[in-house]
Structure 1
Amino acid sequence: MTQSPSPRPAFASWLSTGNSITQQFMAIGGRPDVVSLAGGLPASEIYPVEAIAAAQERALTRWGTQILEYGAIEGLPALRAAIAERFSAATGRRFGPENVLLTTGAMQGLDLVGKTLVDPGELILSQFPTYLGALDAWRPRMPRYERLDWSLEAPGQDAALRQAKFVYAVPNYSNPTGVLVPQDQRAALLDKVEAAGTWLLEDDPYLPLQFDGPAGPSLLAHHAQRHPNGAYAGPVIYLGTLSKSLAPGLRVGWVVAEASLIATLALAKQSTDIASSLLTQAIALEMIESNFEAQHIPKIVATYRERRDALCAAATTHLSDWFEWEVPPGGMFVWMRAKDEAIDTDALYTHALAENVAFVPSSVFDPSGALKSAMRVNFTRSPPEVLVEGVLRLERAVRRLLAERPGRAA
Structure 2
Amino acid sequence: MDQTNNITQQFMAMGIDPDFISMAGGLPAAEFYPTAAIAEASEKALARWGAGALEYGPIEGFAPLRRHIAERIGRESGRTFTIDNVLLTVGAMQGLDLIGKVLIDSGDRIVAQFPTYVGALDAWRPRLPAYEALDWSPEGSTSVEALKATKFIYTVPNYSNPTGALVPTTARQALLEKALEAGTWLVEDDPYLPLQYDGPAGPSILALQGRMEPEGPYQGPVIYLGTLSKSIVPGLRVGWVIAAPEMIQALTLAKQSSDIASSMLTHAVALELLEAGREEAHVPSIVGHYRQRRDALCRAAEAELGEWFEWETPPGGMFVWMRKRHPAIDTDALYRFALEEKIAFVPGSVFDPAAQLRSAMRVNFTRNAPAVLEEGAARLAKATKRYLKSNY
TM-score for both structures, normalised by structure 2: 0.98
> Is 1:54 aligned to residue 35 of structure 2?
no
**Secondary structure of the residue that 1:243 maps to in structure 2?**
coil
- Number of the residue aligned with 1:400: 386
Distance 1:26 1:242 in 2: 23
State the Cα deviation string for residues 178-229 of structure 1 (Å, max 9, x = none). Answer: 0000000000000000000000000000000000111010000101111151
> Is 1:239 aligned to residue 225 of structure 2?
yes
AA aligned to 1:353 is L
Q: Is the 8 A contact 2:29 2:366 kept in 1?
A: yes
- Number of the residue aligned with 1:11: none
- Number of the residue aligned with 1:190: 176
> Is 1:155 aligned to residue 174 of structure 2?
no
Q: Is the 8 A contact 2:321 2:361 kept in 1?
A: yes
* Aligned residue pair count: 392
- Number of the residue aligned with 1:181: 167
- Number of the residue aligned with 1:79: 65
Equivalent of residue 141 in structure 1, options 110, 113, 127:
127
- Number of the residue aligned with 1:90: 76
Distance 1:306 1:197 in 2: 43
Equivalent of residue 115 in structure 2, options 119, 125, 129:
129
Q: Is the 8 A contact 2:62 2:262 kept in 1?
A: no
Distance 2:300 2:142 in 1: 41
Distance 1:282 1:201 in 2: 27
Distance 1:122 1:359, change over 3 A: same
Distance 1:27 1:70 in 2: 35
AA aligned to 2:359 is S
- Number of the residue aligned with 1:206: 192
**Secondary structure of the residue that 2:332 maps to in structure 1?**
helix
AA aligned to 2:31 is E
- Number of the residue aligned with 1:374: 360
Equivalent runs, 1:342-381 vs 2, <5 Å: 342-381=328-367
**Secondary structure of the residue that 1:335 maps to in structure 2?**
strand
Q: Is the 8 A contact 2:4 2:350 kept in 1?
A: no
State the Cα deviation string for residues 219-255 of structure 1 (Å, max 9, x = none). Answer: 0010111115122111100000000011000000000
Q: Is the 8 A contact 1:92 1:228 kept in 2?
A: no
Unaligned runs of 5+ in 2: none
Distance 2:337 2:236 in 1: 36
Distance 1:194 1:18, change over 3 A: closer
Which moved further from structure 2: 187-196 or 228-237? 228-237
**Secondary structure of the residue that 1:42 maps to in structure 2?**
coil
Distance 1:158 1:25 in 2: 41
- TM-superposed CA distance for 1:17, in Å, is 8.4
> Is 1:322 aligned to residue 308 of structure 2?
yes
- Number of the residue aligned with 2:99: 113
Distance 1:73 1:218, change over 3 A: same
Q: Is the 8 A contact 1:26 1:39 kept in 2?
A: no
> Is 1:64 aligned to residue 50 of structure 2?
yes
- Number of the residue aligned with 1:293: 279
> Is 1:265 aligned to residue 260 of structure 2?
no
Q: Is the 8 A contact 2:110 2:132 kept in 1?
A: yes
Distance 1:23 1:101 in 2: 31
- TM-superposed CA distance for 1:330, in Å, is 0.3
**Secondary structure of the residue that 1:181 maps to in structure 2?**
coil
Distance 2:370 2:14 in 1: 19
**Secondary structure of the residue that 1:327 maps to in structure 2?**
coil
**Secondary structure of the residue that 2:188 maps to in structure 1?**
strand
- TM-superposed CA distance for 1:23, in Å, is 4.3
Distance 1:195 1:30, change over 3 A: farther
AA aligned to 2:125 is R
AA aligned to 2:332 is D
TM-score for both structures, normalised by structure 1: 0.93
- TM-superposed CA distance for 1:33, in Å, is 1.5
AA aligned to 2:292 is E
Which moved further from structure 2: 336-345 or 154-163? 154-163
Distance 1:269 1:144, change over 3 A: same
Unaligned runs of 5+ in 1: 1-13
Equivalent of residue 151 in structure 2, options 144, 165, 168:
165
**Secondary structure of the residue that 2:131 maps to in structure 1?**
strand
Distance 1:331 1:363, change over 3 A: same
- TM-superposed CA distance for 1:158, in Å, is 2.8
Which moved further from structure 2: 70-79 or 229-238? 229-238
Equivalent runs, 1:25-64 vs 2, <5 Å: 25-64=11-50
- Number of the residue aligned with 1:229: 215
**Secondary structure of the residue that 1:226 maps to in structure 2?**
coil
AA aligned to 1:165 is K
Distance 1:26 1:39, change over 3 A: farther
Identity %: 63
- Number of the residue aligned with 1:275: 261
- TM-superposed CA distance for 1:92, in Å, is 1.1
AA aligned to 2:59 is I
- TM-superposed CA distance for 1:22, in Å, is 3.4
Q: Is the 8 A contact 2:343 2:379 kept in 1?
A: yes
Distance 2:3 2:304 in 1: 35
- Number of the residue aligned with 1:5: none
State the Cα deviation string for residues 326-370 of structure 1 (Å, max 9, x = none). Answer: 000000000000012200000000000000000000000000000
